[in-house]
Homo-oligomer: A and B are copies of this chain.
Amino acid sequence: MRRLVMAAVAVALLAGSVQANTVSPRDKVRAWRQAHEQQIYADFTKLLAMPNVASKLADVDANAAYIQGLLEARGFTTRLLRAAPGTPGSIFAELKVPGAKRTVLFYAHYDGQPINQQGWLNPPFQPTLRTAPPATAPVDPATAATKLDPDWRIYARGAGDDKASIQVLISAFDALKAQGIKPSVNIKLLYEGEEEAGSPHFGAIIGQNRDLLRTDLLIMGDGPMHQSGKQQINGGNRGIIGFSATVYGPAKPLHDGHYGSWAPSPTVMLADLVMSLRDEQGHILIPGIYDDVTPISAADRAALDALPPVEGDLKQALALGRNIGPARLAEGYLAPTLNVRAIHAGDEGPSAANAIATDGTLSVDIRMAPGEDPKLVQRITEDYLATKGWTIVRDAPDAAIRMAHPKVLRLVWDPGSSAATKTPLDTPSAVAVAGSVGRTVGYPVIKLPLMGGSSSIDEAVNQLKAPMVGISVANYDDNQHARNENLRIGNLWDGIEVYAGLLADLDW
């Protein structure tokens, strides 16, 4: 490890950004961070306190303005890129570094998932420091004797997904500046404002600003770290399309004793629909859906085999008596997955009645593997549903339509979609990233061929024709997309060091 750290110092020296002394830039960053924990925490809290649900434009705009202010204050030039008036903007920021030969564009998103889930420990936009799970007792950060316990966590929507990526870059920049370390690359930032809404305008924003966004490498900050807690990089993301489906039974609720033997039941129609789409073990039943999937390469197979085993601990943490699909979690990322996000029909609990419901709804997403075309997957899905007897409509069907067809399905595709993107991790820029991160953390970084999640980054990768490497900051158990999203404090500190390392010596 020592050799690598010395190499980093050497690189930094070549870039003329470090004084030739015996303290490594990473040690300087750490010292600065340790001296400024309370301030960094307070800054992050302020960022997280800003409501950022993707569907609320005014909230999203307020976040953008605030973040632009933070960046301008640090010498970045910024612009808010909107595809059209009234749509969420992506923040573009740029800092040119004299002498730098490479440009790196860091992507993150500042919007967040909806917050209406039951069971939040604190209101999602009142960020709260809590002790490590399962205790999760609130802690006043001001009472921390010397420093914040790295196992404490901050609970708020966006803590892990994805404001952490923004905070660590800003704090890393502050650390370098304070310590007199000059970045090794020209920095571009692209912070999206509607990732959690499916990025309906992100492709247009990229398309309208290709020159502005031109880069030698995309670094993608979204997504959780490896379950082992070790730092990882990844070569991309799966694609995603999603839809909501509504099935129809009788036009009004019916007594199920008098009509259950005769009237079609929306609850059962939903179940039948689900089981026609996939089986309980996760195999997708849509003909052709696996046809275009890029086979797992020997390099990827080796990378998968090298991943630390986490599945046993995961089952323990999640109280699971089994898994479905491949035994190795990350292997499943290289194939498509069809998720039934929600299924709802009929009253239950205090409103329960022995009644046949009038309709039922399903929410589905399909995570697509490299090689798959979202448009084609949409088409084969609809074609398949037609063979199962469904008449697909887009609007709520009237009585005439419902009577004219045995099985009417209102299918509405989610506004956003993305294709999978995959940069082989032996690409030179990716090798450089792995080297920099490894120097920071002191061990060989975990290389994940692909993340299981999705990202609108596909638009940037494809339109900018740049390689992409993903670096995660958030703890894997950050409850992203769910209630009680959180970021482990230690991940905030580590993220700052990783980003500072990249800014200080990334080059290839």
Q: Contact residues of A with B, CB < 8 Å? A: 113-117, 223-224, 237-238, 240, 242, 244, 248-265, 267-275, 278-280, 282, 311, 315-326, 329, 332-333, 335, 337-348, 350-357, 360-361, 363, 365, 367, 399, 402-408, 451-454, 476-477, 479-483
Contact = CB atoms under 8 A, between A and B. Distances in A.
Contacts of A271: 270-275, 340, 343
B355 A256 contact: no
14 contacts: A116-B350, A116-B351, A223-B258, A244-B348, A249-B320, A257-B454, A263-B318, A265-B340, A270-B343, A320-B402, A321-B406, A343-B344, A343-B345, A352-B363
Contacts of A248: 319
A318 B252 contact: yes
Q: Which of A117, A237, A347, A363 has the most CB of B within 10 A?
A: A347
B356 A321 contact: no
A187 to B, nearest CB: 28
A251 B318 contact: yes
Contact of A353 (B114, B321, B344): B114
A353 to B, nearest CB: 4
A262 B319 contact: no
Contacts of A249: 320
Nearest to A333: B261
Contacts of A477: 252
Nearest to A455: B257
B402 A258 contact: no
Contacts of A345: 342-344
A361 to B, nearest CB: 6
B342 A354 contact: no
Contact of A257 (B253, B363, B452, B476): B452
A238 B261 CA distance: 12
A320 B403 contact: yes
A255 B480 contact: yes
B353 A117 contact: yes
A192 to B, nearest CB: 16
B346 A352 contact: no
Please give me the 7 A-B residue pairs with the lowest Cβ-Cβ distance, nearest first.
Answer: A261-B332, A342-B346, A257-B453, A116-B351, A271-B274, A253-B482, A267-B340
Given A280-B269, A354-B365, A451 B258 contact: yes
A283 to B, nearest CB: 10
Nearest to A476: B258
A403 B452 contact: no
A372 to B, nearest CB: 14
Q: Which of A280, A322, A476 has the most CB of B within 10 A?
A: A280
B270 A272 contact: no
B319 A267 contact: no
Q: Which of A275, A350, A354 has the most CB of B within 10 A?
A: A354
A367 B268 contact: no
Contacts of A357: 342
A483 B254 CA distance: 10
Contacts of A251: 317-320
A480 B339 CA distance: 36
A265 B114 contact: no
Nearest to A227: B258
Contacts of A278: 268
A400 B114 CA distance: 32
Contact of A341 (B355, B367, B405): B355
Given A267-B341, A357-B342, A482-B355, A116 B347 contact: yes
A217 B508 CA distance: 96
A453 B353 CA distance: 13
Given A271-B340, A275-B271, A280-B269, A261 B452 contact: yes
Contact of A262 (B223, B259, B323): B323
A322 B356 CA distance: 15
A389 B305 CA distance: 31
B352 A341 contact: yes
B367 A257 contact: yes
Contacts of A405: 321
A458 to B, nearest CB: 13
Contacts of A354: 113, 240, 242, 339, 341, 365, 481
Contacts of A476: 258
Contacts of A325: 261-262
Contacts of A311: 262
Contacts of A333: 261
Given A319-B402, A339-B265, A351 B117 contact: yes
Contacts of A320: 249-251, 263-264, 402-403
A321 B113 CA distance: 39
Q: Which of A252, A262, A335, A451 has the most CB of B within 10 A?
A: A262
Nearest to A340: B267
